Each structure stands twice: as structure tokens, then as C-alpha cells.
A and B are shown apart, each in its own frame.
Chain A
Amino acid sequence: RKEVEQDPGPFNVPEGATVAFNCTYSNSASQSFFWYRQDCRKEPKLLMSVYSSGNEDGRFTAQLNRASQYISLLIRDSKLSDSATYLCVVNMNNYQLIWGAGTKLIIKP
């Protein structure tokens, strides 16, 4: 089993719709969790940190389920500018982040 798994997509979603991504991780000792977004040929940019059970930032909601070892990201009222690859990242309380392969999101007008 991969350490961090994501559905590669692509998710093709009409503008204004709600979209959700899931990410599962294999190490139950994992301590902190992040969502990054990456535009084509650009660097990853931190979108949200996910601590405790989850948190919300505007149209974005991240949730953590430690018992089932998954993290989700919900995007409401999606915009064209949300088109990107969304990367799930897990820190097992050491100096290395474990990266998922990313889920590609395409928002269509």
C-alpha cells in the first residue's frame, strides 16, 4: 500500500459546483496533514494545514478522520482559477513530508 494515496483524476467539474477529494495515508503515527495546490510547471503552494479534526478557510474545507486514516478537501462554488493539481501531504513528525501524487481538477465554464 502506498504511503499517501489520491485519486489521480482528472475531475472535470462545472464552474460553481462543489467538488471533494479524498486522500488516504498508511501510517497511523502521522501527526500533521496539508493540502497543497500546484499549477502546471509551478511550485506547490500551501493551501491549508489540517490539524485536529479539520478546518475551514472560505470556500475550502479540510477534514481529517484519524480512525479511517483519510483526509478530505471540499471546494464549494468552484472557480475557473481553482483548476490545478491538489496534493495531499502527510508529516509523520519527522523532517520528511510524504507527498501524494495529486488529483488534477479542471473547472469548466
Chain B
Amino acid sequence: EPEVTQTPSHQVTQMGQEVILRCVPISNHLYFYWYRQILGQKVEFLVSFYNNEISEKSEIFDDQFSVERPDGSNFTLKIRSTKLEDSAMYFCASSENHNEQFFGPGTRLTVL
């Protein structure tokens, strides 16, 4: 069964550093998403991406964040200058029809 994959599984970084989180969505899906979940809290929407552009973003997704689909398979989330409060689990998801979304296993980001 096709699945969303994410790398790395755990990223530790110093405050102020840039990080890139990588995702490979399910191959025939057209809609891509990033979410985050701070430990013990709810899943929070960050951004959705369709047809090579951002279709929607939340208030969390400020100028420090960017997304890219550099080739036909990868979908990346970049955080330019990480803050302590960026520590969270980051989930990538993809969808064929922007309804049912399928999630990757997540990247745990720890900012020190």
C-alpha cells in the first residue's frame, strides 16, 4: 500500500539555525500539506500546496516558513531561523482530492 514518507525522523538543531524537513507524498496525489503538533496538543494546520503553489496557509506559517516541491516527488518545509517554540512533531500529508488526507510518520524537531 502506498504511503507518505518523511525524513529525518528526528532533527535536533540550535536556535537560529535553518532546517529543512522532507516528505515524499503518495505518487498520484495532487494536494500536499504540512501540519505540526506540539507535544500534548492538537494537530495544527500550517500550509496546503496544489499545482506548485500555496493554496492556503495558517497564521502559524509566517515568513520564517516556506515550502517547495523541487522535483516530481519531494515536498519540503523550510524553517529559516528556528525558535524554541518551533519544537514539535511535523507531519506531511497528501491527498488525491483534498478530502481524505494521508499522513507520514512525522519528523520530531527539537530546537535547543
Which of A's residues lie within 8 Å of B, judged by CB? 32, 34, 38, 41-46, 49, 87, 91, 94-102
Contact = CB atoms under 8 A, between A and B. Distances in A.
Given A43-B91, A44-B43, A100-B42, A95 B55 contact: yes
Interface string B26-62: 0000010100000001111100101000011010000
A96 B91 contact: no
A99 B45 contact: yes
Interface residues on B, range: 20 to 34
A43 B104 contact: yes
Interface centre among B43, B91, B104, B106 (most CB of A within 10 A): B43
Contact of B100 (A34, A43, A87): A34
Cβ-closest 6 pairs across A and B = A95-B48, A43-B103, A95-B56, A101-B42, A95-B55, A99-B43
A99 B42 contact: yes
Contact of A94 (B56, B101, B106): B56
A88 to B, nearest CB: 11
B31 A95 contact: yes
A94 to B, nearest CB: 6
A49 B100 contact: yes
19 contacts: A32-B99, A38-B43, A42-B106, A43-B91, A43-B103, A46-B101, A49-B99, A87-B43, A91-B99, A95-B31, A95-B33, A95-B48, A95-B98, A96-B45, A96-B56, A96-B58, A97-B45, A99-B43, A101-B41
